Structure 1
Amino acid sequence: MGYWGYFVVGRSEQPLAELRALSGAAGMTLHETAEGGWQVWEYPNAPGGGASDVGNMNDLAQETGAPALFGYVMDSDCVVVEAAAPESGAWSTCLARDAMAGYLGGNEDGLAVDDFFLEPRDAVERALAWAAESGRDASEERLLDVLSSDANPSAEMLFFRFLDRLGVIPM
């Protein structure tokens, strides 16, 4: 059984777990910090999702005045990425699209991955704007590579590779 849970990424001088936007996520633990006040917090939950309230990345971006990003890892197979920034707005995509398709395959509406998430090329455009608003340089080619990759060896590693490509948390 793989990992289920959130990684919350933001920039603040105070711990993200103390912010109003994340007040419903009691039990978050600091996973990593990086230059410029960037923080990654972890909020695991039960396999299959379960009920949890990690908060809202739009509220987090507004409260910190900086871009924010949530990565929801599903059984170490794939990641739902939700991002927001005060100026460039909100967007979502996923990592390990083929694995995500397997999770969505049984939906009764017949909707596919592209019906829920930005396709990789569109996600690259939004990710570049997000990175620029973060004061980071990102490469279109390197972002496209990670957005088109499988989760090998795990979705968690793919997510942190994505953060590295955004210039936020170096690997």
Structure 2
Amino acid sequence: MGYWGYFVVGRSERPLGELDALAGAEGLSLRAEASGGWQVWEYPSGEGDVGSMNSLARETGAPALFGYVMDSDCVVVEAAGPESGAWTTCLGRAAMAEYIGADEEGLTLEDYFLEPRDAAERAVSWAEEAGYAVTAEGVVEVLTADPDPLAENLFFRLLDRLAVVPL
């Protein structure tokens, strides 16, 4: 059985785990720190309320990103910036399509998540708001990559491509 849980990424002078936006996430632990005040926190299992990345972006005044890892097969990526707004995509699209299937309303993967090219354009804007210049091509490469062996690795490659937390 693979990993289930959230990674929460944001920039703040205070520890993210102390912020009101993440107050409901008991058991949140610091996973990594990077220059510029970037932090990655982990919320294993995903049971309970991790909070809102929109609220986190508003509270910190900086872009925020959540990654929900599903059995190490795929990752739901939710991002928001105070100026650039919110967007959602996924990593490990084939595995995610299997998890979603077609619901009773006939909605599919494309109804829930931005296509890789569209998501990459939103990611470039998100990174620009964070003060970084990144290329859409580098982001598309990660968004279309196979998650073998672990989807978590793709998530951290995405953070690297967004220039917020280098590998």
Q: CA deviation at 1:137?
A: 1.6
Q: Percent identity?
A: 68
- TM-score, structure 1 normalization: 0.95
Q: CA deviation at 1:108?
A: 2.2
1:42 partner letter: E
- Correspondence list, 1:25-36, <5 A: 25-36=25-36
Which of 154, 157, 161 does residue 153 from structure 2 map onto? Answer: 157
Rounded Cα–Cα distance in structure 1 between residues aligned with 2:102 and 2:122: 29
Determine helix, strand or coil for the equivalent of 2:80.
strand
Determine helix, strand or coil for the equivalent of 1:151.
coil
Matched, 1:18 2:18: yes
Q: CA deviation at 1:138?
A: 1.0
Structure 1 unmatched ranges of 5 or more: none
Rounded Cα–Cα distance in structure 1 between residues aligned with 2:161 and 2:31: 18
Task: Determine the structure 2 residue equivalent to 1:87.
Answer: 83
Matched, 1:44 2:40: no
Determine helix, strand or coil for the equivalent of 1:143.
helix
Structure 2 unmatched ranges of 5 or more: none
Answer yes or no: is the 8 Å Cα contact 2:22–2:52 preserved in 1.
Answer: yes
Q: CA deviation at 1:144?
A: 0.6
2:164 partner letter: V
Q: How many residues align?
A: 167
Which of 92, 115, 119 does residue 119 from structure 1 map onto? Answer: 115
Which of 61, 65, 88 does residue 65 from structure 1 map onto? Answer: 61
Task: Determine the structure 2 residue equivalent to 1:4.
Answer: 4
- TM-score, structure 2 normalization: 0.98
Q: CA deviation at 1:107?
A: 2.4
Q: CA deviation at 1:105?
A: 1.1
RMSD between aligned residues: 0.9
Q: CA deviation at 1:106?
A: 5.1
